[in-house]
């Protein structure tokens, strides 16, 4: 059968001895595991030995593209990096946009995996004619990600796809990521440290291979239809009114189910920063290391994050590959660097509201600094907020912090601290590996302020506002990520329109806010559907924001069939997604992770409850929600581990023997 949508092979590079080889992947594997994160889950589960050191030669670091990448399908430009996470000790993944994803496919591979460890800095170069070489990277080592990318493109080709680590990855910071397109970053799970420990500075990909598509016309027709939805953009209110809308949502006892078209309009106008003030007002954005609320950051104070203020600096809209929406932007930065990627909501709130830093100029600066260093802005901001709270409560002294007075809203201290973290200098070294490591070094008392899930710092979406976030922070194999599910996401995905047995949510319908906090079978079904769906999305290489528009408008499953020539129903795709969810959970069990240990920090759960503000008194029964969720996958509801029966149910019977042994060892 002619391969369509996927290249049909992957590249393995052994950094210890400089050898490489291709492996042809059977069609049946793609049919059962898809590509992207699915294929990666299969390979990593089978080949990383249990208890492998994430920073050692036995870990495998994979750069994977999606099955739709390079096909012309809209929103299909995300690439993923995968490996055993040095931050959590379990399954790790992160993804980013830009133009790097199709560069992997153009080299004729669906994925490139690195094993071993080099003795000196190297980069992988795949030339236009397909020749493969590991080249000396000494002259690029020590450069930040933007400098290194520019230099590598100057050496090879300005059209090359480049993924690169900055100095944070070189220094094996456990909160470092991997960058592309001058400041996009696959930030989560600490996989930049894996790349740094392997002494792999970059991948430079210049291939020119074209991917076959089953039905080009079908994909074009879908793109035309999606473009009409994306183009629909009535005049919007100003940023100030967006903030007031957040206040209204806080005060209203009713909740409105979100239609993804509304969020699409906000994204198109402002990007993710559209949510800044609105989120603080409605209780979505955590404040003051999760102990504060909108009352600490009222409308007047939060006006520094007004999206119109940010938009004034936007010179150019930025679109990832194959994206008709373009939520990104290139902004001017006169005082430091010439230009910068527009800061995202997550970065602004982690470096802003979480630390009570009300200086937007410093946030622009820190965002660019962190992107260049290749350090995760969410984790960096969360670590600074943690340190401030430790200082304020006497767990840290000025002597320990190199003289810095860590107080809420002290912009100078926040900037100085992050500069130190990037360089691993003085006190910055203690924080450079994130909250969990720092907390352990400071002492037991610091645990009260170490707000993580499974050692990963939490994103800027408060589960006391939408408990679905807390659930996914706690049950995903890569914990503490906001890109998989929430009650809000389920509303926008509109999966029930193509899988009728799933719970129905009518967009723009109203319901009592209190309902959000009641654990139920229906909510577990919704959450499980989000996880399964996002495995399909991350195997396809699609952007989450595109899928928010709704599967009835962006027909993800149809796109997959048109590109591959398969005839799977949406329900069958979700079954594949459930298989992948089970496989990633099996990976964690194999590597000694207790699923219960990933539960979100009690403060973020609402224990003790907040005394004021948008989330006053709110919390949900997370223990029950987790057990209900695990039941949906037929896993053990007490431990969260996949049972042997569930392996059979999800089509993973071939792993029974291996997994039984791992279960017994665990
Ligand atoms: S919506 Fe934004 S993040 Fe997603 S592909 Fe488009 S530009 Fe990239």
- Residues 177-205 pLDDT 10s: 999 999 999 999 999 999 999 999 999 99
The closest-lying atom of ligand 1 relative to the alpha carbon of residue 318 is: 7
Report the sign of the C-alpha dihedral through residues 396, 397, 400, 403, in that order: positive
Residue 352: predicted pLDDT: 98
Q: Assign 3-class secondary structure to 526-554.
A: HHHHHHHHHHHHHHHCCCHHHHHCCCCCC
- pLDDT classification of 338: cutoffs 50, 70, 90: confident
Residue 481 has pLDDT above 60, yes or no: yes
Q: Whose CA is nearest to atom 2 of ligand 1?
A: 327
For tokens 């990600």, name the residue.
Answer: 145
The closest-lying atom of ligand 1 relative to the alpha carbon of residue 322 is: 5
Cβ-contact 383, 449 below 8 angstroms: no
Residue 126: predicted pLDDT: 98
Rg (CA), the chain: 23
Euclidean distance between CA atoms 435 and 504, whole angstroms: 39
For residues 287-307, average pLDDT: 98
For tokens 């996401």, name the residue.
Answer: 489
Closest of 178, 149, 164, 8 to residue 80, by C-alpha: 178
Closest of 174, 106, 218 to residue 565, by C-alpha: 218
Residue 316: predicted pLDDT: 96
What is the best residue among 73, 75, 544 to mutate for testing ligand 1's pocket, by most ligand atoms within 8 Å of CB? Answer: 75
The closest-lying atom of ligand 1 relative to the alpha carbon of residue 328 is: 7
For residues 23-27, average pLDDT: 97
The residues near 354 (Cβ < 8 Å, ≥ 6 apart) are 286, 287, 288, 289, 290, 381, 382, 385, 460
Cβ-contact 507, 255 below 8 angstroms: no
Q: Whose CA is nearest to atom 4 of ligand 1?
A: 543
- pLDDT classification of 337: cutoffs 50, 70, 90: confident
Residue 335: predicted pLDDT: 75
Q: Tell me: the pLDDT tens digits for 421-453?
A: 999 999 999 999 999 999 999 999 999 999 999
Around 469, how many Cα atoms within 13 Å sit in the side-chain half-sphere? 24
For residues 565-589, average pLDDT: 98
State the DSSP H helix or E strand holding residue 658, giving kind and residue range, or none if neither. Answer: helix 656-665
Closest of 448, 449, 454, 447 to residue 474, by C-alpha: 454
CA of 607 to the centre of ligand 1 (A): 36
Residue 314: phi and psi, rounded to 5, are: -75, 120
Residue 513 has pLDDT above 60, yes or no: yes
Q: Taking the model in full, what pTM does it have?
A: 0.98
Residue 208, both tokens: 């020119």
Euclidean distance between CA atoms 267 and 245, whole angstroms: 16
The closest-lying atom of ligand 1 relative to the alpha carbon of residue 98 is: 8
For residues 613-622, average pLDDT: 97
What is the best residue among 320, 324, 341, 547 to mutate for testing ligand 1's pocket, by most ligand atoms within 8 Å of CB? Answer: 320
For residues 135-147, average pLDDT: 98
**Averaged confidence pLDDT in the chain:** 97
Closest of 455, 581, 585 to residue 530, by C-alpha: 581
Q: Tell me: the pLDDT tens digits for 246-269?
A: 999 999 999 999 999 999 999 999
Q: Where does ligand 1 bind, in terms of residues with CB under 6 Å?
A: 75, 77, 97, 319-320, 323, 325-328, 543, 545
Going from the N-terminus, what domains does the chain have, and what CATH number goes with each? 9-205 (3.60.9.10), 219-457 (1.10.569.10), 467-665 (1.10.599.10)
For residues 539-548, average pLDDT: 98
Q: Whose CA is nearest to atom 8 of ligand 1?
A: 320
Residue 109 has pLDDT above 60, yes or no: yes
Residue 2: predicted pLDDT: 60
Cβ-contact 68, 149 below 8 angstroms: no
């Amino acid at each position: 059968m002619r391969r369509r949508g996927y290249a049909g092979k992957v590249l393995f590079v052994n950094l210890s001895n400089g050898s490489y080889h291709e492996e042809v992947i059977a069609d049946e594997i793609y049919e059962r595991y898809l590509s992207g994160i699915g294929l990666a889950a299969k390979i990593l589960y089978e080949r990383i030995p249990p208890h492998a050191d994430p920073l050692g030669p036995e870990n495998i670091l994979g750069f994977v593209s999606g099955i739709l990448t390079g096909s012309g399908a809209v929103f299909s430009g995300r690439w993923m990096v995968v490996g055993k996470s040095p931050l959590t000790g379990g399954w790790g993944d992160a993804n980013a946009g830009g133009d790097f994803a199709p560069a992997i496919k153009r080299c004729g591979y669906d994925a490139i995996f690195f094993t071993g460890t080099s003795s000196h800095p190297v980069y992988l170069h795949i030339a236009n004619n397909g020749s493969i070489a590991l080249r000396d990277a000494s002259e690029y080592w020590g450069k930040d990600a933007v400098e290194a990318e520019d230099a590598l493109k100057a050496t090879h080709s300005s059209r090359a796809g480049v993924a690169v680590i900055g100095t944070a990855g070189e220094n094996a910071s456990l909160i470092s990521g991997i960058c592309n397109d001058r400041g996009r970053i696959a930030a989560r799970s600490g996989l930049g440290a894996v790349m740094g420990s392997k002494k792999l500075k970059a991948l430079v990909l210049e291939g020119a291979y074209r991917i076959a598509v089953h039905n080009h016309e079908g994909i074009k027709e879908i793109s035309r239809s999606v473009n009409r939805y994306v183009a629909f953009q009535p005049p919007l209110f100003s940023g100030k009114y967006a903030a007031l809308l957040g206040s209204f949502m806080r005060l209203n006892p009713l909740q409105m189910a979100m239609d993804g078209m509304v969020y699409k309009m906000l994204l198109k106008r402002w990007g993710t920063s559209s949510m800044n003030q609105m989120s603080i007002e409605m209780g979505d954005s955590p404040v003051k290391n999760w102990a504060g609320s909108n009352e600490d950051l009222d409308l007047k104070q939060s006006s520094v994050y007004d999206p119109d203020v940010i938009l004034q600096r936007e010179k150019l809209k930025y679109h990832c590959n194959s994206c008709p929406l373009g939520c990104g932007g290139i902004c001017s930065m006169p005082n430091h660097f010439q230009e910068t990627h527009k800061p995202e909501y997550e970065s602004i709130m982690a470096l802003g509201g979480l630390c009570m830093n009300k200086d937007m100029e410093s946030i622009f600066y820190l965002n660019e600094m962190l992107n260049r260093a290749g350090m995760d802005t969410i984790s960096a901001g969360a670590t600074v907020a943690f340190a401030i709270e430790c200082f304020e409560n006497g767990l840290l002294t000025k002597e320990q912090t190199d003289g810095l007075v860590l107080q809420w809203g002290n912009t100078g201290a926040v900037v100085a601290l992050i500069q130190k973290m990037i360089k691993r200098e003085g006190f910055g070294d203690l924080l450079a590996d994130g909250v969990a490591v720092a907390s352990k070094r400071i002492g037991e008392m610091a645990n009260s302020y170490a707000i993580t899930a499974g050692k990963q710092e939490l994103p800027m979406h408060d589960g006391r506002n939408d408990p679905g976030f807390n659930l996914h922070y706690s049950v995903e194999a890569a914990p503490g990520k906001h890109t998989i599910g929430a009650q809000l996401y389920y509303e926008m995905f509109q999966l029930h329109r193509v899988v009728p047995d799933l719970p129905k949510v009518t967009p723009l319908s109203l319901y009592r806010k209190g309902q959000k906090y009641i654990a139920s079978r229906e909510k577990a079904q919704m959450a499980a559907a989000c996880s399964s769906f996002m495995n399909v999305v991350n195997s396809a290489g699609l952007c989450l924001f595109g899928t928010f528009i709704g599967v009835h408008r962006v027909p993800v499953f149809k796109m997959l069939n048109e590109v591959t020539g398969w005839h799977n129903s949406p329900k069958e795709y979700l079954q594949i997604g459930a298989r992948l969810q089970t496989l990633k959970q099996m990976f964690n069990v194999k590597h000694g992770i207790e699923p219960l240990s990933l539960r979100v920090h009690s403060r973020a759960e609402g224990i003790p409850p907040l005394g004021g503000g948008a989330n006053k008194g709110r919390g949900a029964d997370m223990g029950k929600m987790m057990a209900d969720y695990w039941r949906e996958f037929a896993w053990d509801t007490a431990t969260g581990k996949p049972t042997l029966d569930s392996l059979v149910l999800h089509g993973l019977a071939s792993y029974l023997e291996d997994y039984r042994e791992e279960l017994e060892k665990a």
